[in-house]
Amino acid sequence: MRAMVIDCHTHVFSPRIIKNRQRYCERDPVFALLYRNPKAKLATAEEIIASMDSAGIEMSVIVNLGWTTSDLCAETNDYILESIARHPKRLIGFCSVQPKDTNAAIAEIERCARAGAKGIGELRPDMQSFDLSDARLMTPFVEALRKHKLVLLTHASEPVGHSYPGKGAITPDRLYTFISRYPDMPIICAHWGGGLPLYALMPEVKKALGNVFFDTAASPFLYEPRIYRLVAEMVGADKILFGSDYPLLAQGRVLAELRDTDLTDADRALILAGNARRLFSIKD
- Binding residues for Zn ion, rule: CB under 5 A, are 155, 190
Rounded to a whole number of angstroms, the minimum distance from the CB of residue 155 to Zn ion is: 4
Q: Which residues contact 53 (CB under 8 A, 6 or more apart)?
A: none
Rounded to a whole number of angstroms, the minimum distance from the CB of residue 283 to Zn ion is: 29
Rg for the chain (alpha carbons), in Å? 17
Peptide bond into 172 cis (omega under 30): no
Which DSSP letter does residue 70 get? Answer: H
Position closest to Zn ion via CB: 155
Pick the closer one to Zn ion by CB: 118 or 155: 155
Residue 9 near residue 154 (C-beta atoms within 8 A): no
Pick the closer one to Zn ion by CB: 56 or 159: 159
Rounded to a whole number of angstroms, the minimum distance from the CB of residue 193 to Zn ion is: 11
Pick the closer one to Zn ion by CB: 155 or 268: 155
Spatial distance between the Cα atoms of 107 and 172, rounded to a whole number of angstroms: 29
Residues, the chain, total?
Answer: 284
Residue 34 near residue 65 (C-beta atoms within 8 A): yes
Pick the closer one to Zn ion by CB: 9 or 90: 9
Pick the closer one to Zn ion by CB: 155 or 174: 155
Query: Counting Cβ atoms within 10 Å, is residue 160 exposed (0-12), middle (13-18) or buried (19+)?
Result: exposed
Rounded to a whole number of angstroms, the minimum distance from the CB of residue 156 to Zn ion is: 7
Rounded to a whole number of angstroms, the minimum distance from the CB of residue 31 to Zn ion is: 13
Count of beta carbons in the 10 Å neighbourhood of residue 284: 4
Pick the closer one to Zn ion by CB: 155 or 239: 155
Rounded to a whole number of angstroms, the minimum distance from the CB of residue 190 to Zn ion is: 4
- Amino acid sitting at position 214: F
